[in-house]
Amino acid sequence: MRILFAVLLVAVLATQASAQDFRTGLDAYDRGDFAAALKEWRPLAEQGDARAQFNLGVILFNGQGLPHDPVEAVEWYRAAADQGYGPAQDKLAFMYETGQGLLQNYVQAYKWSTLAIRHGVDVRKTRDVLAAKMTPEQIAEADRVVVAWRPRLAENAPEPTSDADVQAASTTRSTEQVRKAQRQLNALGFNVGPTDGVAGPRTRAAVSDYQKHRKLPVTGVLDEDLFAQLAAGKTDDKPVEREEQIAKREPEESISSSKPVPEAEPPPVRAQDCDRLAAHPSDPFLPADVTGVAFEDIDADRAIEACELALALNAGDMRHQLQLARSLHKAERLDEAVAYYQQAGLQGHPLAQKSLGFAYANGLGVTRDYAKSAQWHLMAADQGDSDAQRNLGYLYAGGQGVDRDIVQAHMWYNIAAAHGSAGAAKNRDVLAGRMTDSQIAEAERRALAWFDQRRESTGSR
């Protein structure tokens, strides 16, 4: 009996500790310290705590303290949803409906929405909108899989001890309140993407653009002041014009020729400064201790000097070639930038390949050539670059550089959307409106085959 009591006492203490750690993480999240929140939540999530799993998904999807990663977000949402956690089931339904982090699947979206409703999340209106897009056969299939579903109970998953403990990170603001603000921002031309009720990186960027446009303090935060401004009728302005087509875009973000004047003479650069001054934040080949720098923040002159020194010591290194190309691009020395993008691209660097695709599409440093743009984009797309995948969809849809093929365009838009590419899901759905059911089915079959082939080639599950 003593042994049994001791075991029960350990279990109770572990549950109390987990609840305390979860609350500590939630407090950190609320004050914007996402690294501290992750430190508390990740061990709980790995132990099977559905609340922490869901919150990890939110952080990964929002890009808060970690890169925006819809694929891994789906994995954590699913882990929590499989245990019957309603908020995670709702988010997983959204990911299936929009095709983010996985391939679009209305049957699965309807299934998870129905389960979320059963577990206390009122998304009936959202599910009704989804049902309007589905055939009766799809709805019947979804109902069947709902009946067959059973929760998976994780070992060591603590039960919430109070209403406060189950407060999830994404509910800091009312989902409907955020959705309303997103709709208003979209109406003004500040593109937030899907109006999903999640204040992710695209929404925060749109808020920042709105604040700059109105000459307000730029915070990027959906706070009470912003809600009040939008609610006070600020949506009657002329929408901001935005151009989404690849043919009008540059290899990376818009080049700014303005350079801040340093207050003091900076120290001389060294070869090892190339990473610090010019590394791409999304470069898969970066060392673990290098975070990268946004294109607009590159100090071109110093970065060029450092990266030239780095290549002098290690000629042919494709990472440093990419970094020198970015630096030259920022300095608007486009002919030289393209040469280094090509050196890195020929060695297989996907970011350099994508940048070359942009360059050939726009005639930046090279003669405009859509066929070559498609070739470079295909190289990057086959390595999983979502921007290149989306742009291939655009090229196939318009027959630029390739034969016009709406099935192939749908396939690439679908794959890009699954990898979280902004705008790919919308483009796919618009294109689907001009396709037959058999064409859509063939495009989805090709997308699935692409993922299967990629899993086989990489050995991933």
Contacts of 106 by beta carbon, 8 Å cutoff, 6+ apart: 96, 97, 130, 133, 134, 138, 142
Among 215-224, 256-265, 297-306, 359-368, the range scoring the smallest mean pLDDT is 256-265
**In the chain, % of residues over pLDDT 70:** 80
**In the chain, % of residues over pLDDT 90:** 34
Distance spanning both ends of the chain, measured CA to CA? 45
Token pair listed for 217: 């303090």
How many whole angstroms separate alpha carbon 214 and alpha carbon 204? Answer: 15
Token pair listed for 66: 């970690």
Does residue 408 contact residue 83 with C-beta atoms inside 8 Å?
no
Does residue 373 contact residue 395 with C-beta atoms inside 8 Å?
yes
Closest by CA to 359, choosing from 385, 399, 388, is: 388
Give the model confidence (pLDDT) of 18-61 as tens digits. 556 778 888 888 788 888 888 888 888 888 888 889 998 988 88
In 149-219, alpha helices (H): 175-187, 201-213
How many whole angstroms separate alpha carbon 275 and alpha carbon 291? Answer: 9
Contacts of 139 by beta carbon, 8 Å cutoff, 6+ apart: 110, 131
Full set of structural domains in the chain with CATH:
21-148 (1.25.40.10), 175-236 (1.10.101), 247-348 (1.25.40.10)
How many whole angstroms separate alpha carbon 65 and alpha carbon 309? Answer: 32
What per-residue confidence (pLDDT) applies to 440?
Answer: 93
Amino acid at position 77, single letter: Y
Query: Quick one: average pLDDT of 141-167?
Result: 61
Query: Quick one: average pLDDT of 130-157?
Result: 81
Q: Which residue has the tokens 């001890």?
A: 161
Token pair listed for 161: 């001890």
Give the model confidence (pLDDT) of 280-329 as tens digits. 998 989 888 888 899 889 999 999 999 999 999 888 899 999 999 999 99
How many whole angstroms separate alpha carbon 361 and alpha carbon 187? Answer: 29
What per-residue confidence (pLDDT) applies to 265?
Answer: 66
What per-residue confidence (pLDDT) applies to 31?
Answer: 82
pLDDT at residue 13 tops 90: no
How many whole angstroms separate alpha carbon 355 and alpha carbon 330? Answer: 13
What per-residue confidence (pLDDT) applies to 456?
Answer: 73
Does residue 346 contact residue 376 with C-beta atoms inside 8 Å?
no
pLDDT at residue 407 tops 90: yes
Give the mean pLDDT of the chain.
79
Rounded to the nearest 10 degrees, what angle do helices 70-81 and 86-98 cross at?
140
Q: Which residue has the tokens 């405009």?
A: 368
Q: What are phi and psi of 331, to 5 degrees?
A: -80, 0
pLDDT bin (cut points 50, 70, 90) of residue 448 is very high
Give the model confidence (pLDDT) of 101-121 as tens digits. 888 889 999 999 999 998 888
Does residue 22 contact residue 40 with C-beta atoms inside 8 Å?
yes
Give the model confidence (pLDDT) of 157-196 as tens digits. 444 333 333 344 444 345 667 778 887 887 777 776 666 6
Q: Is 250 helix (H, G, I), strand (E, B) or coil?
A: coil
Q: What are phi and psi of 450, to 5 degrees?
A: -60, -45
